[in-house]
Amino acid sequence: MRRFGLVGKSLQHSQSQSHFTDKFRREGIADASYALFELLDIDQWNEWISAEEKNPSGPLCGLNITIPYKQSIIQHLSGLTEEALSIGAVNAIRPDGQQGWVGHNTDALGFAQSIRPFLTSKHERALILGNGGAAAAVRFALQNLGLDVAHVTRTPHEGWNTVRYEELSMEAVRFYGLIVQATPVGTYPNLTDVLPFPWEGLTPDHLVIDLIYNPAETAFLGMARAHGATVLNGKDMLQAQAEAAWKWWNTKT
């Protein structure tokens, strides 16, 4: 059995296992399994991966990496693909011969694929809430699509155009036609959590995306929809990044 899986700190919100289990069943892939692996701290990586590599139930052939380890995993990898290097965050890794594990990023591709059908000339500027691994992938994807990008963050990020949440004005929101919520705030089970945001700045021309897919509509998306914006959750991105990871895991090096 070829083993795949997801590594993160707390995975109760994740739909990755059901995504891959359904895919394996649908496509008649009988020699693969997908499991969830919760790691309390990334410092446990070396010990954990050594034990898993010796697991007699089958070789570990690919892993997804999720919150909060998309950046901190990099120190444990033997190499990065060009995309992962440019983004500075990794959401998929695969064995690198005897050398260790190599990191890749399929979040950027997944995000770009999921939003392309919704982008119009009203969306030339984007405001990304957050500066973590997913925010970095979204930034990379949007810049490649030719959009101007700024971030709203709790702490400034060197080299990035950032404002703090308390500084974000209604006028600034009007200026940015695309808003991307790239923090975990509002993820199941914290359904009522919502970032502070000047909702009055939203118009029917706005496209508001929340990368969260559980719940299907976060409090943030609900507020955006109530203020007239077109809204999109992270489900299409989840599926597109998972498919891209599957292809990469199964590509011969």
The site for ligand NAP (CB under 6 A) is made up of: 67-68, 70, 107, 110, 130-135, 153-155, 182-185, 187, 195, 211-213, 234, 237-238, 241
Sheet strands (E) in 9-140: 32-38, 60-65, 79-80, 92-95, 101-104, 125-129
Q: What is the separation of C-alpha 84 from the centre of its chain, rounded to a whole number of angstroms?
A: 13
Residue whose CB is less far from ligand NAP, 9 or 53: 9
Task: Give 24 or 88: the residue with its C-beta nearer to ligand NAP.
Answer: 88
Question: b/e map of 219-245 (b: 16 or more CB within 10 Å)?
Answer: bbbbbbeebebbbbbbbbbbbbbbbbb
Q: Which residue is nearest to ligand NAP (CB)?
A: 132
Q: Where in 124-193 does DSSP place strands (E)?
A: 125-129, 148-153, 162-164, 178-181
Q: Which is nearer to ligand NAP, 133 or 201 (CB)?
A: 133
Comparison of 142 and 212: residue with beta carbon closer to ligand NAP: 212
Query: CB–CB of 211/181 below 8 Å?
Result: yes
Distance in Å, CB of 116 to ligand NAP, minimum: 15
Nearer to ligand NAP, 39 or 238 (CB): 238
Q: Count how many residues are written for the chain.
A: 253
Cα dihedral across residues 77, 90, 65, 21: positive or negative: negative
Q: Supply the minimum distance, in Å, between the C-beta of residue 84 and ligand NAP.
A: 13
Closest distance between ligand NAP and the C-beta of residue 215, in Å? 11
Q: How far apart are CA 223 and CA 197, in angstroms?
A: 10
Question: Can you state the percent helix, strand and coil of the chain, rounding each to 5?
Answer: 35, 20, 40
Closest contact distance (angstroms) between CB of 238 and ligand NAP is: 4
Q: Is 54 a catalytic residue?
A: no
Residue 23 CB, shortest distance to ligand NAP, in Å, is 15
Nearest to 5 by CA among 33, 29, 28: 33
From 9, 70, 122, 247, active-site residue = 70
Supply the residues annotated as catalytic: 70
